[in-house]
């Protein structure tokens, strides 16, 4: 490959960089760049920083990076090393501190069209080679479910920035035109100041920018492309010379003039090389000397070591990680490991932040579709404390450990830290609480195991401590193991849940799969559905009872389950066919919602006031009808019996609960003065547990039409709420 950033070398270098290099790298304050396409000089692209890399250099760097990865073993080793450490091993996974948010993230992460967890290596490798990442975001209009497609950054014509701030990219213009003949433009994802939610048509990342005024990114290998070419050139020349050295030449000296030489050649029969294993006889007037070519392997090896040192330092990797490990001992390698770990860790941090932003966009879209509330209750995995945060903040993306901690080093660090904290507390420079906080942080950083609050005492049983470490390590290893689900979550005590994804009967595990346990001991009177033996529970959840209420038409049934969870009492409510009530499992499979205490009380208030509001609406209608009849108004001006009294939505897990209070015709008649009969009217309370924001059909709605039915539902709600609490 021809060097990218070194057009010509001067015999004597007087400056750090020649003018052509300054122009090619955009370091010339944009003052004297020359566009190789049309020859324009002294221009600066609109919206770019004064020191932005010219687009032709950017495209060359992309081309050379991809070519180097495919043809240069050293480039392949560099990219694959970063990829393996950042997203390899156990892979990239997500964690959610709220189960409702977890459901949304799991749906996006495991979508067969996305497969975000299984394409991490390919995606990171592409970004390292191209320097940028552009995702087209395909969002469903109603459900706001998200899918994405990667777009080659070469198609980007320009990036627009909000208010000219290069840190706020808000528009991407693509090469080519749309149906109207204009440039294709997509809005980039950013937080809407009015709603606080992320919105946009595409997501753009350019992590390896030189300056904060740059808008576009450069490939990760940019600074070493020329050095990779030099390394390849030296090796190629060495191989060529080695092949040439296989050809041996004989220098034959014959004493005398040209006549003696000609006689000697004629006597031998030509200038052929003596056959292998033959004997060449001559007198002392003829001397044979073999001529060989030196390969220069020693000189080339030294030169390549110097080039490799520059390549390794430019990529942030230890030289021994790429080649020539025989030149370093174990102590040297371990000493060089820490800077490398930090460099690789910084790349991983950037990548995980990007993946977290993508997942949070998905959560915000679910909030916009009202599949999630704007704020959710998050549980601290270490302390069990609950806080209310924006839904998108309840999820993060995590990656594998960059390098396994050395046990001896970890023990020494903890010993030194404990000694230092003890002395600081003794001299009064640090409080005991502050020292305890520092010790917990050190424990988690160096041991890699969550510090649970049961161990938050100096008198903790050593056996309990050992058990906690062993259990956390065992579950973590199971989490890393290939195959099976990887969405293990922690419960309210900071421990990993016993089941994948937090779904299943609470019990022991074998190989990460939940074992079904005996149903909890529930009074049969409080469980008329016999739901205890089949309900789906999450970590720390306890079943408290069930109930069943039929609607006024006897064609729909409300089934309910009371739960006691780490975050408080909850109520699961579903609308099913009467014949299916014995098969209902209270899980997220349609027509079921999961309400907290506040949501259950909202529903109770709606049911409690339905009869009063409905009766009043029917009474008002009848009075208005009589008045219209007495005023001899035409029937076209009489009030309509059908009307909407009130309606609303109660948000919960799995979906939303819609309710509406309406006035209907009914089967009764109103007798008007003069004996004329007219349709009277009746009230109807409809309850619809909907998922995905889509209301049910006419036959799937649970309807109440009498105070007796409302009373039955109230009694069931009160019993389950009180039992769970």
pLDDT tens, position by position, 581-614: 878 888 887 788 999 888 898 999 999 999 999 9
CA atoms within 13 A on the CB side of 241: 15
- Residue 680 Ramachandran class (φ > 0 left, ψ -120 to 50 alpha, else beta): alpha
- pLDDT for 21 equals 61
- What would the pLDDT profile of 398-423 be if each residue is shown by its tens digit? 888 776 544 555 666 777 788 888 88
- pLDDT for 494 equals 41
DSSP secondary structure letters along 419-478 = HHHHHHHHTTSS-HHHHHHHHHHHHHHHH-S---GGG-STT--HHHHHHHHHHHHHHHHH
Dihedral angle of Cα 508, 513, 516, 517, to the nearest 10 degrees: 0
- What would the pLDDT profile of 342-372 be if each residue is shown by its tens digit? 888 888 899 999 999 999 999 999 999 989 9
Q: Per-domain residue ranges for the chain?
A: 1-255+284-403, 406-447, 459-517, 525-725
Q: Compute the distance between CA of residue 453 and CA of residue 494 in angstroms, rounded to an integer.
A: 8
> Phi first, then psi: what are they for 37, rounded to 5°?
-80, -55
With a cut of 60, say whether residue 669 has pLDDT above it: yes
Q: Compute the distance between CA of residue 93 and CA of residue 100 in angstroms, rounded to an integer.
A: 17
CA atoms within 13 A on the CB side of 325: 7
253: helix, coil or strand? strand
Of the ranges 16-30, 226-240, 477-491, 513-527, which is most confident? 226-240
Task: Tell the residue number behind the tokens 């975050």, with chain if given.
Answer: 567
Determine the average pLDDT of the residues in 195-205: 93
DSSP secondary structure letters along 50-72 = TTPPPHHHHHHHHHHHHHHHHH-
- pLDDT for 488 equals 39
- The more confidently predicted of residues 308 and 596 is 596
Determine the average pLDDT of the residues in 162-176: 89
- What would the pLDDT profile of 140-153 be if each residue is shown by its tens digit? 988 899 999 999 99
Determine the average pLDDT of the residues in 522-529: 78
Determine the average pLDDT of the residues in 278-286: 87
With a cut of 90, say whether residue 18 has pLDDT above it: no
The number of residues making up the chain comes to 725
Q: Report the sign of the C-alpha dihedral through residues 325, 326, 330, 331, in that order.
A: negative
With a cut of 90, say whether residue 109 has pLDDT above it: yes
**Least confident residue range of 108-112, 285-289, 335-339, 522-526:** 335-339
> Phi first, then psi: what are they for 69, rounded to 5°?
-65, -35
- pLDDT for 350 equals 92
Determine the average pLDDT of the residues in 440-468: 60
- pLDDT for 492 equals 39
Of the ranges 167-176, 415-424, 677-686, which is most confident? 167-176
**Least confident residue range of 64-78, 375-389, 613-627:** 375-389
- What would the pLDDT profile of 493-511 be if each residue is shown by its tens digit? 444 443 333 333 333 333 3
- pLDDT for 351 equals 92
- Average pLDDT taken over every residue of the chain: 77
CB count within 10 Å of CB 106 equals 15
- The more confidently predicted of residues 38 and 291 is 291
Share of the chain above pLDDT 90, in %: 18
Extract the runs of DSSP E, i.e. beta strands, from 439-519: 509-510, 513-514
Of the ranges 16-25, 288-297, 427-436, 450-459, which is most confident? 427-436
| Nearest CA-CA partner of 444 in 480, 403, 494 | 494
CA 183 centroid distance within chain = 31
Q: How many helices (H) and strands (E) does the chain have?
A: 15, 26
- The more confidently predicted of residues 45 and 479 is 45
> What confidence category does residue 9 fall into, taking pLDDT thresholds of 50, 70 and 90?
very low
- pLDDT for 569 equals 86
With a cut of 90, say whether residue 701 has pLDDT above it: no
> What confidence category does residue 381 fall into, taking pLDDT thresholds of 50, 70 and 90?
low
Whether the model pTM is above 0.75: no
The helix (H) or strand (E) run that includes residue 175 is strand 169-177
Beta partners for residue 169, in sequence order: 161
**Least confident residue range of 238-252, 270-284, 376-390:** 238-252
Determine the average pLDDT of the residues in 465-494: 45
| Nearest CA-CA partner of 699 in 577, 523, 532 | 577
205: helix, coil or strand? strand
CB 541 within 8 A of CB 564: yes
455: helix, coil or strand? helix
CA 567 centroid distance within chain = 26
With a cut of 80, say whether residue 107 has pLDDT above it: yes
- What would the pLDDT profile of 549-559 be if each residue is shown by its tens digit? 988 777 788 99
> What confidence category does residue 268 fall into, taking pLDDT thresholds of 50, 70 and 90?
confident
- pLDDT for 324 equals 60
- What would the pLDDT profile of 326-340 be if each residue is shown by its tens digit? 454 444 444 446 677
- pLDDT for 60 equals 86
With a cut of 50, say whether residue 89 has pLDDT above it: yes
């Amino acid at each position: 490959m021809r060097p990218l950033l070194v057009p010509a070398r001067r015999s004597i270098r007087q400056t750090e960089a020649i003018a052509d290099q300054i122009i090619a790298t955009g370091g010339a304050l944009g003052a004297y760049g020359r566009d190789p396409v049309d020859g324009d000089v002294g221009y600066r692209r609109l919206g770019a920083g004064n020191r932005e890399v010219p687009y032709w250099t950017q495209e060359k760097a992309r081309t050379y990076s991809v070519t180097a990865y495919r043809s240069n073993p050293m480039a392949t080793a560099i990219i694959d090393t970063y990829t393996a450490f950042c997203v390899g091993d156990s892979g990239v996974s997500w964690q959610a501190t709220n189960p409702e948010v977890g459901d949304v993230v799991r749906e996006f992460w495991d979508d067969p069209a996305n497969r975000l967890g299984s394409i991490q290596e390919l995606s990171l490798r592409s970004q390292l080679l191209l320097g940028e990442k552009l995702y087209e975001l395909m969002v469903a209009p109603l459900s706001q479910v998200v899918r994405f497609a990667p777009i080659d950054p070469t198609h980007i014509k320009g990036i627009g920035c909000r208010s000219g701030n290069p840190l706020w990219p808000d528009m991407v213009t693509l090469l080519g035109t749309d149906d109207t003949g204009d440039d294709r433009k997509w809005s980039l994802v950013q937080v809407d100041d009015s709603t606080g939610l992320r919105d946009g048509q595409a997501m753009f990342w350019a992590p390896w920018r030189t300056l904060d005024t740059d808008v576009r990114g450069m490939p990760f290998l940019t600074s070493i492309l020329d050095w990779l070419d030099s390394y390849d050139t030296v090796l190629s020349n060495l191989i060529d010379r080695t092949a040439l050295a296989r050809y041996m030449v004989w220098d034959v000296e014959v004493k005398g003039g040209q006549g003696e030489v000609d006689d000697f050649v004629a006597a031998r029969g030509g200038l052929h090389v003596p056959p292998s294993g033959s004997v060449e006889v001559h007198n002392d007037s003829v001397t044979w000397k073999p001529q060989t070519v030196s390969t220069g392997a020693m000189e080339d090896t030294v030169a390549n070591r110097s080039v490799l040192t520059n390549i390794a330092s430019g990529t942030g990797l230890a030289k021994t990680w790429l080649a020539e490990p025989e030149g370093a001992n174990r102590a040297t390698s371990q000493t060089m490991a820490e800077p490398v770990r930090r460099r690789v860790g910084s790349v991983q941090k950037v990548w995980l932040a990007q993946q977290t932003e993508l997942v949070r966009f998905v959560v915000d879209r679910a909030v916009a579709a009202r599949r999630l509330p704007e704020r959710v209750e998050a549980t601290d995995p270490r302390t069990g404390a609950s806080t209310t945060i924006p839904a998108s903040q309840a999820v993060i993306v995590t990656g594998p450990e960059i390098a396994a901690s050395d046990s001896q080093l970890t023990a020494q660090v903890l010993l030194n830290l404990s000694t230092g904290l003890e002395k600081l507390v003794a001299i009064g420079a640090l409080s005991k609480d502050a020292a305890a906080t520092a010790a917990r942080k050190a424990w988690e950083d160096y041991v890699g195991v969550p510090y649970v609050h049961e161990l938050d005492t100096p008198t903790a049983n050593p056996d309990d401590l050992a058990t906690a470490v062993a259990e956390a390590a065992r579950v973590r290893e199971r989490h890393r193991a290939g195959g099976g689900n990887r969405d293990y979550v922690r419960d309210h005590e900071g421990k990993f849940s016993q089941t994948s994804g937090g779904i299943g009967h609470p019990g022991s595990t074998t190989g990460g799969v939940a074992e079904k346990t005996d149903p909890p001991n529930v009074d049969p009177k409080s469980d008329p559905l016999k739901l205890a033996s089949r309900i789906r529970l999450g970590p720390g959840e306890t079943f408290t009872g069930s109930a069943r209420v039929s609607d006024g038409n006897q064609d729909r049934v409300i089934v309910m389950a009371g739960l006691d969870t780490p975050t408080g009492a909850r109520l699961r409510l579903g609308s099913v066919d009467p014949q299916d009530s014995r098969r209902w499992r209270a899980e997220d499979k349609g027509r079921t919602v999961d309400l907290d205490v506040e949501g259950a009380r909202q529903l109770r208030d709606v049911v409690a006031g339905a009869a009063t509001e409905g009766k009043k609406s029917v009474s008002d209608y009848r009075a208005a009808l009589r008045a219209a009849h007495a005023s001899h108004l035409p029937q076209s001006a009489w009030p309509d019996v059908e009307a909407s009294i009130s309606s609303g939505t109660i948000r919960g897990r799995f979906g939303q609960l819609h309710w509406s209070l309406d006035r209907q015709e009914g089967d009764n008649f109103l007798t008007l003065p003069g004996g004329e009969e007219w349709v009277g009217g009746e009230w109807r309370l409809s309850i619809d547990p909907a998922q995905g924001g889509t209301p049910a059909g006419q036959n799937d709605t649970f309807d109440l039409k009498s105070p007796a039915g409302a009373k039955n539902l109230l009694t069931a709600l009160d019993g389950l709420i009180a039992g769970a609490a």
